[in-house]
Amino acid sequence: MLLSIKEMEVRKVRFDETFQPGEIDFSGAGVRQSGPIHVDGEAELLANTDGEVRIKGHLGGKMESECDRCLAIATFPLDCGFDLFYRPSESLSVEEEVAIDEGEAEMGFYAGAGIELEEILREQVMLLLPMQRVCTSDCKGICPVCGRNRNESSCDCRVAAADDRWSALRKISQG
């Protein structure tokens, strides 16, 4: 769905859409949709700006990937509000582009007739996913020695050094 700038010039554009798995391109991201993603909200052209657009709303759904530790399926429920600002990319001068690289990361850009809702969703979903994608926070992972999934059965392999590092990491991530 294109959030049209022309339409925003007349009124706020409201959206209320559901995307089935496959409708948004998550290829190459290592994740997939495990159910519909629902998004609703509104897009508004801000008065007295150089074509700045504010898009706010809420998204909900469910993603899944392989667990980083044990390769089983890890699921990630999404339920989050967003409030985003976009500027037309042609309004940028070279100096501004440099400044934005350094500090204004929250500002997005659009070119042409508007902003694709699918693009926004893809970006927001990727931001919401945790860096460490694990099936459960205490996933024991796969034994590096015998290859057994240690959530299912334990083994007697000695991997003391690695274990210490993992438990330290775990403490940080639970922090």
Residues in touch with Zn ion (CB under 5 A): 67, 69-70, 135, 139, 143, 145-146, 155, 157
Q: How far apart are CA 64 and CA 77, in angstroms?
A: 9
Per-residue buried b or exposed e for 130-163, using 16+ beta carbons within 10 Å of the residue's own CB: eeebbbeeebbbbbeeeeebbbeeeeeeeeeeee
Q: Which is nearer to Zn ion, 75 or 89 (CB)?
A: 75
Closest approach of Cβ 154 to Zn ion, in Å?
A: 8
* DSSP 8-state secondary structure symbol assigned to residue 46: P
Length of the chain equals 175
Closest approach of Cβ 28 to Zn ion, in Å?
A: 22
CB 47 within 8 A of CB 53: no
Closest approach of Cβ 170 to Zn ion, in Å?
A: 12
Q: Which is nearer to Zn ion, 101 or 138 (CB)?
A: 138
Q: Which is nearer to Zn ion, 107 or 155 (CB)?
A: 155
Closest approach of Cβ 136 to Zn ion, in Å?
A: 6
Q: Which is nearer to Zn ion, 38 or 62 (CB)?
A: 62
